[in-house]
Amino acid sequence: MANKTIVFTGGGSAGHVTPNIAIINELGTDWAIQYIGSKKGIEKELIRKINIPYYGISSGKLRRYIDFENFVDLFRVMKGCMEARKILKKLKPDLVFSKGGFVSVPVIIAAKSLRIPIFIHESDMTPGLANKISQRFATKIFTSFEETKKFFPKNKTMVIGSPIRREVFNGSREKGRKFLGFHLNLPILTIMGGSLGAKKINEAVRESLNQLTERYQIVHLCGKGNIDTNFSNVPGYRQFEYVHEELPDILAATDFVITRGGSNAIFEFLALNIPMLIIPLSLQQSRGDQILNAKAFEEKGYSLTLEEENLTSESLVNYIETVKKRSNEIRRNMKRSRKGEALQTLVNEINKTSLT
């Protein structure tokens, strides 16, 4: 029977939720697990799928620029703090663990006011605004990249990598090929644009399908509402909005991957030794964290980077061909990296709180 309670928080994108789920799945029965997220965010759907008690609070968007909505959202954050404090007083957790995102800030402020220990994990090269605010309240801070450590207090920061879902290691190459209906004569190229897909990547892939399907069998995870029925019958091309249970088998069958630069995804591909072409979100679409993530991976020899501004059907084909030619070198570099350690490290650190 659980004698300790832990509250997880984080949301706004799948990248702020899947690492939490990885940790949740590793914690034993000594812990009662709860989750606080936003009332309508993607985290609500993902957490309810694994049957964890979920509490929704008000959440305002944190912006780095002047906007009237900042004034409105300030009141949402204040309301979220009060709601989170009420929930935490009821649950009496021994620890709060945060993966960031807007919703985490009210939870962390409330936890600090109740003197509850707080762990946070930063996935990207540079901290997001939520974790920049949260660091002053945190008991311990964990980062994926060595380069990130300089942004946080040295005395409470540990570089561990990214917590990777254990199930991604359990896929079957044979089952993956069978599910996809693919043969052994051509390598498999998997294209993942993130939980919401990526319009420009999707367009470039479909424009270059004739060339790509001569050299690869293609799995295209194109995001919700982005399936194009005009390409449904193209031999060697399978498109899905999203896959869940079948993903470990698909990844086991994958030879190369085209991906965004989200930290959680690229660390999973690193752990699986899948050479990757990273197409990060541009500065027009993000704060530039994916660009920095991609640069760090390319410098370590794990991937190549194609900037979205330079993405065309022609450049896409050329870059993935270069990844293919350099794949042996890339895999050797990947095998020398630390991988799969972060999840166990976090579980050990969390379990230490039960001894204090």
C-beta separation of 190 from 160 below 8 A:
no
pLDDT of residue 73: 63
Q: Pick from 155, 173, 350, 335: which is nearest to 254 by CA?
A: 173
Q: Edge-to-edge strand order for the sheet containing 217-221? A: 237-240, 217-221, 188-192, 256-259, 276-278, 303-305
Same domain assignment for residues 204 and 295: yes
Q: Tokens at residue 261, please?
A: 């630069």
DSSP summary character for residue 41: S
| pLDDT tens, N- to C-terminus, the chain (356 residues) | 568 999 999 987 777 898 999 999 999 888 999 999 998 888 898 999 899 999 999 876 654 545 555 555 667 788 999 999 999 999 999 999 999 888 999 999 999 999 999 999 999 999 988 899 999 999 999 999 999 999 999 999 999 999 998 899 999 999 999 999 999 999 999 999 865 558 899 999 999 999 999 999 999 999 888 999 999 999 999 999 988 899 999 999 999 999 999 898 999 999 999 999 999 988 777 778 899 999 999 999 999 999 999 999 999 999 999 999 999 999 999 998 866 689 999 999 999 986 55
Element (H, E) at 276: strand 276-278
CA distance 186 to 149: 42
Domain ranges, residue 14: 4-163+340-355
Same domain assignment for residues 148 and 41: yes
CA distance 137 to 139: 7
pLDDT of residue 329: 97
Amino acid letter for position 13: S
Q: pLDDT, tens digit, for every residue of 15-26? A: 789 899 999 999
CA distance 159 to 147: 9
pLDDT of residue 246: 95
Same domain assignment for residues 93 and 145: yes
pTM: 0.85
Give the SS3 label for residue 158: strand
CA distance 206 to 208: 5
Burial class (CB in 10 A: 0-12, 13-18, 19+), 138: buried
pLDDT of residue 109: 95
CATH number of residue 269's parent domain: 3.40.50.2000
DSSP summary character for residue 13: S
Using alpha carbons only, give the angle 194, 321, 228 rounded to the nearest 5 degrees.
Answer: 45
> HSE on the CB side for 234, CA within 13 Å?
24
Q: Pick from 237, 249, 243: which is nearest to 202 by CA?
A: 237
pLDDT of residue 340: 64
Amino acid letter for position 239: Q
Same domain assignment for residues 251 and 137: no
Give the SS3 label for residue 17: coil
CA distance 171 to 123: 24
pLDDT of residue 31: 95
What is the DSSP code string of 198-209? Answer: -HHHHHHHHHTH
Strand partners, 140: 119
Same domain assignment for residues 247 and 290: yes
Same domain assignment for residues 17 and 149: yes
pLDDT of residue 198: 82
Helices (H) and strands (E) in the chain, counts: 14, 13
C-beta separation of 316 from 209 below 8 A:
no
Same domain assignment for residues 320 and 226: yes
Give the SS3 label for residue 187: coil
Same domain assignment for residues 155 and 208: no
Sign of CA dihedral 126, 130, 135, 141: negative
Measured from the Cβ of residue 281, the count of other Cβ atoms closer than 10 Å reads: 19
Same domain assignment for residues 146 and 191: no
pLDDT of residue 186: 97
Q: pLDDT, tens digit, for every residue of 88-127? A: 999 999 999 999 888 999 999 999 999 999 999 999 999 9
Element (H, E) at 154: none
Phi, psi of 80 (to 5 degrees): -60, -40
Domain count, the chain: 2
pLDDT of residue 284: 73
pLDDT of residue 224: 84
CA distance 98 to 121: 6
Same domain assignment for residues 53 and 111: yes
Same domain assignment for residues 15 and 142: yes
Q: Tokens at residue 22, please?
A: 């990885």
Same domain assignment for residues 152 and 29: yes
